[in-house]
Amino acid sequence: MSTTLALPSRAVPSRADALLFRTKTTVLRGLRGLRETLDGTRAAHHGAGGVLAEAPVVATVRSPLWTGLAGEKDRALTAGKVQNLRVALRGIDGVEVPAGAVFSFWRQVGRATRRRGFVAGRELREGCLVSSVGGGLCQLSNALYEAALQAGFEIVERHAHSRVVPGSRAQAGRDATVFWNYVDLRFRSPRPFRIEARMTADALELVLRSGVPGVLDRLGEPAAPDGRGDAHDCTSCGQTSCRLNNPDTALTRHLPTAWLLDAATPEFAALFAERATRRDALVLPTRLFGGPRYGWARGRCGAEASADLAALRRSLALRRAPQGAALQARILEADDRLAASHARRLSHLHTHLVVSQNLLPHLWRLGALQGRSFEVLMERLPLDVLQAQLDEALARHPESLTLGDFRAPDAVVAAERAALDAAARLITAHRGIAALFPGRTQLLDWAAAAPLASRRGGRAILLPASALGRKGVHALRAAITGLDIEVLVQGGAVEHAGFWGNRPVRRLMPGEAPAELAAVVLPAIVEHQPRALLRALAAGIPVIATAACGLGERDGLTVVPADDPAALRAAIAAVL
C-alpha cells in the first residue's frame, strides 16, 4: 500500500512532512467520498459465487512472497505483508463480477485496520519504504492489474507508485498502487468474470476466469517505465539522521514454529518434546482437564495458549452424543470450533506451523494456512481415501448398518485434500498412511506399549474393538464358522442384534482380562490406533491383522488381506 505523494529522492522526512501528509490524505479521502456520492460513481461490493468456477482461465499471475530478506526486521515486515494479504484475500477470492460492472480494490478489501486483523507491513510512502498497518497490499493490487491487462479488461482507474522498488513490477510500468480510499485500482469487462486468489507457502497466485479474452482497450495498456527513482528502505537506507531510520539486525537460523495441536498420542508427544524450542509457540485445547489426552510437554515453548472454552464445549457435546453418525457429525463441528479458536491465537510472525490433522481442513477453509509452510500430524487416513474405502466395503456388505452411516461434507473433504497437497511434510507412525504419500512422509516408530495381562495359550481369540463393519467383523464371522474356538469381543457396539448368530462369541465385561489368549485378531478395513495389537505383541501373543492396521512387518504378526475370510480362517487355524 502506498501513496503518490513524494519528496525529492534524497530528502529526509520530518515530523512536519508527516503532519502535512496526514492532512493531505484526510482532505483527499473526504473529497473522494464526496465526489462519489454526488456523481454516483461509488463502486458496488461483489460477493463470492460459483457460477464461473469452471469458466476458462483468461489470466494467471504468480509473484513471490519472500524475496531477499536482509534481516530480522525485514522478515517481520514481510511476514506482516503476508498477514495483510491473508486478510485481504477474504474479500477477493471467489468474487464474481457481473458484465460491465466495475471492480474496485477498496470496495472489496475494505480499510486496513488492526481491528480487522491487519498488521504492520512495509508501505511505500513519500518515496520511502516504511512500516505501516496494512503495508504490502500493493503486491495484490499489482497482481490484479497485471491480470486485468492479460485478460484485456478496461482499466478504469490505476495509479503508479511514487518510487520503484527494485525487482518489482514498477520497473516495467505494470504496477498499481493503492491507498485508502482515494488511490484505488478499478477495472471492468464486457463479460462477467471471476477472481481466484490464494497464497502458497512462498507465492501469491491469482487467476481470472471469464469468456474469451477481449481486445486490449487503450486504457488497459500498461504504462511505460518512466524513470522514477528507487525507493529508500528505512531498515537499510543509511539515513541515520531520519527519525524513521530503523537499522536491521541479522537473520537467525531458526524460524519460530507454532504448534496447533489437539490430542497427544505417544508418538507425537515424543516428537514435540524433541523438536519444540523456546522460540516456538504451543496452542493446545486445555491444561485444565483431559489428563494424558492433552499431555504435551510443558516448558518447551516460549509461548503457550489454550482454547479452554472450545475444549470444554467439545467435551460436553461429545459426552451427550449418541454413537454412529450423530457422534461423528458432532466431532467434526467441535473440531471446526477448536480450529477457529487456535487460528485466533496465531501470530503473523509464525510462518511455519505443525498442525494436528483433525484441525487441518478447518484451518484451510479459514485461510490460516495461506502464505505459511506447514507439517501435518497424521492420525488417520485422509477423508477422501477413508470414505472411498468405506464405500467399497459397503458395496460388498450392503446389509451393514454402520459402513455407510456417516460421510463428511464435501467442502470439508475437499479442503483437507487441498491442504494435504500443499503441506511441506506429513508425519505419522501408521505405515498405511505413510504409503499414500511416498517421499513426503516422516515415518515415526510406534511407541512401546505395556504388555497385555493375558498369556499365550488356550483356544480363545480376542477382537480388541467393537463388532462393527469397519473392524472387519463380516470377514471374522465367516472365518470362525465351524472352528472350535471362542471369540472375545472387547467393545460394546455391534453391527446389529443377532449379528453373530449361534457362533461362540462373548463380549468381555469392563476391566475383564482373559487369563489366556491364542491370538489377538483385528481384520480391520479401517484402523488408525492399533494400541491393543502392540500390547499383544509385547506380551508374546500372536497377532493377526490387516495392513490397514498400519503396523508394518513385526515378529509375531501375521498380515492378512482385508475382507478375505479364507485367508483369515487359515491364519487363525495356524496359531491354534
- At 472, which CATH number? 3.40.50.2000
Is 208 domain-assigned? yes
Domain assignment present for residue 238? The answer is: no
- Looking at 283-426, list the stretches that DSSP marks H as alpha helix, in order from N- to C-terminal side: 308-320, 325-344, 360-366, 383-396, 410-422
- Tell me whether residue 198 is in a domain: yes
Q: What is the largest CA-CA distance in the chain?
A: 96
Residue type for 497, please?
A: A
pLDDT on residue 72: 79
pLDDT tens-digit series, residues 30-70: 677 677 777 777 889 999 999 999 999 999 999 999 887 76
Question: pTM for the whole thing?
Answer: 0.86
- Residues 472-512 have pLDDT tens digits of 999 999 999 999 999 999 998 999 999 999 999 999 999 89
Predicted local distance difference test score (pLDDT) of residue 251: 57
pLDDT band at 219 (very low <50, low <70, confident <90, very high): very low
Report the candidate in 468, 466, 268, 479 with the shortest Cα–Cα distance to residue 379. Answer: 268
Residues 6+ apart with CB under 8 A from 11: 127
State which residues form the domain around 92: 2-233
pLDDT at residue 375 greater than cutoff 80: yes
Q: Domain ends where: 443, 466, 497?
A: 443
Question: Which grid cell sits at 111?
Answer: 480499510
Distance CA(558)–CA(466), nearest Å, equals 21
Query: In whole angstroms, what separates CA 103 from the centre of its chain?
Result: 29
Let me know if residue 65 belongs to a domain. Answer: yes
- Same domain for 439 and 459: no
Lowest mean pLDDT among 201-205, 253-257, 566-570: 253-257
Residue pair 339/415 in contact (Cβ under 8 Å)? The answer is no
Is residue 248's pLDDT more than 60? no
Q: Classify 270 in phi/psi space as left (phi over 0), alpha (psi -120 to 50) or beta.
A: alpha
Cα 282 from Cα 192, distance rounded (Å): 45
Q: Which of 87, 101, 105 is nearest to 147 (CA)?
A: 105
Question: Looking at the structure, do residues 493 and 412 belong to the same domain, yes or no?
Answer: no
Q: What is the pLDDT of residue 323?
A: 76
Instruction: Report phi then psi at 56, rounded to 5.
Output: -60, 145
Residues 6+ apart with CB under 8 A from 290: 311, 315
pLDDT of residue 373: 96
State residue 576's pLDDT score.
Answer: 85
For CA atoms 166, 168, 170, 172, the dihedral sign is positive
SS3 361: helix
Domain identity same for 490 and 428: no
Q: Which amino acid is at 214?
A: G
Q: Is the dihedral of CA 541, 544, 547, 552 positive or negative?
A: positive
Domain shared by 540 and 500, yes or no: yes
Rg over CA atoms, the chain:
30
437 & 469 share domain:
no
Strand partners, 61: 206
CA–CA dist 360, 336 (Å, integer) = 9
| Residue after which a domain boundary falls, among 388, 415, 443 | 443
Say if residue 511 is exposed, middle or buried (CB neighbours under 10 Å; 0-12, 13-18, 19+).
Answer: exposed
Q: Is the pLDDT of residue 221 over 70?
A: no
Q: Examine residue 247 and state whether it is found in any structural domain, yes or no.
A: no
What CATH code is carried by the domain that includes residue 274? 3.40.50
Would the pLDDT of 227 be above 60?
Answer: no
pLDDT 10s digits, 148-179: 999 999 999 999 876 655 555 555 567 899 98
